[in-house]
A and B are shown apart, each in its own frame.
Chain A
């Protein structure tokens, strides 16, 4: 797991900011599912891999060699550990341009 300092958190919001739900949801699974679906719909899979790399420190090659379901699980667990709902709420409230 990478360091969760503010600089990294800001990078994470810059990557995922365009794919987050407009309404906060305390149900992490639902919330993360919407992010995942939004990324899928946009076709920008770089955002998916970039976010996982930033949160975990894993390399792109390592991720692509893993089972897609394992990578998705990593994505979900990492976002939970990074307090994604609170992170998005903070950046939206402060008016950060995603």
Chain B
């Protein structure tokens, strides 16, 4: 049987009400979610299963060891419902970064759970809030404010950059200088627009039988 509603998780015979996580708990879940996706993409069963168990157990405050006693479909349904409850309300550009890019970005000073401390550090430094206040922030507020902090920092860097000599290249032949903008992080770059559909005149269409590669069937088919 499916879980009773999207706001509940059913494990064994116990129904757990799902509440939207506060900032710290949400960041823990996001880290675990990254681990789940990374393990899934690598086909690493041990890490995948343990990260799934940790995710559900962290959200529902039940011991990880208990998770093995539940059928897989209860665990995955619980995971799906927990994930749905914790989706940010806005499509924040800061969060659009793909998991793969996050994995590549891992630095030498990384450790499990560091994300929370990075966020705490930035929010506390900028707003003067204490740990308790930051950890209980609404997740939408937390993400929006962190994006503003990072945006401010980037614009500040760009201003400093624009004042330096290295931001300009000169062409001795034309005696002109050209401004080289400071590279922006991925989430600040404009999203590529989908290509426009262009009508082609019948007279310019290829002659003969036109076939299209169908990725579902892996064979050529005639377009409808």
Contact = CB atoms under 8 A, between A and B. Distances in A.
Interface string B65-88: 001111111011000100000000
Determine chain A's interface SS by DSSP, over half rule: helix
B183 interface: no
Contact of A94 (B40, B45, B53, B71): B40
Contacts of B36: 94
Contacts, number: 57
Interface string A1-34: 0011111111100100000001100000000000
Interface string A76-98: 00000001001100110011111
A14 B45 CA distance: 9
Contacts of A95: 37, 40-41
Interface size class of B (residues with CB under 8 A): 20 to 34
Given A11-B45, A95-B40, 18 more contacts: A5-B69, A6-B53, A6-B67, A6-B75, A9-B72, A10-B45, A10-B48, A10-B49, A10-B72, A14-B43, A14-B45, A83-B73, A87-B72, A91-B40, A97-B41, A97-B42, A97-B43, A98-B43
